[in-house]
């Protein structure tokens, strides 16, 4: 039986899970299966490909969805870090950790140590850092 505290803390969240992934790497495979499993298990799950309408302010909507999620699952894949959108989501998610937002990293078809070695990832992080500074 759920306690009142559990019910009240869940009611302030629109989503249980915010799912962050690089679409071209995982959309039609792992991420779809993960999303389906989460939904079937009763977790309200946000993924940007089926929640955002064309013409919406995507960055604002993503920030809102992250704020309204209890936790995030980040599916790191080979080209996750080469996507500006993925890096933006990652920054937004990590900022929320200080307010109790849980983060679960999943490494799909990539070893965690490989991400540090990828020159394309390093370049993408450096470009993103320069954009944030300006």
Active site residues: 89
- Cα–Cα distances (Å) from 28 to 2, 25, 49, 84, in that order, read 35, 8, 12, 20
List helix spans (H) across 12-118: 23-26, 32-40, 48-51, 58-67, 84-96, 112-117
Any idea how long the chain is?
A: 134
As a whole number of angstroms, the distance between CA 96 and CA 72 comes to: 10
Residue with tokens 């009763």: 42
- Cα–Cα distances (Å) from 101 to 6, 17, 62, 69, 78, in that order, read 15, 10, 15, 8, 25
């Amino acid at each position: 039986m759920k306690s009142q505290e559990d019910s009240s803390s869940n009611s302030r969240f629109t989503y249980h899970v915010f799912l962050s992934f690089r679409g071209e790497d995982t959309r039609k495979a792992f991420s779809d299966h993960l999303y389906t499993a989460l939904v079937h298990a009763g977790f309200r799950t946000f993924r940007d490909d089926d929640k955002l309408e064309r013409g919406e302010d995507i960055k604002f909507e993503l920030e809102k969805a992250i704020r309204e999620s209890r936790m995030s699952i980040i599916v790191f894949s080979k080209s996750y870090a080469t996507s500006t959108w993925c890096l933006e989501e990652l920054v937004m998610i990590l900022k929320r950790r200080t307010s109790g937002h849980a983060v679960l990293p999943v490494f799909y078809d990539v070893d965690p140590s490989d991400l540090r070695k990828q020159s394309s990832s390093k370049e993408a992080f450096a470009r993103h850092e320069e954009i944030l500074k300006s």
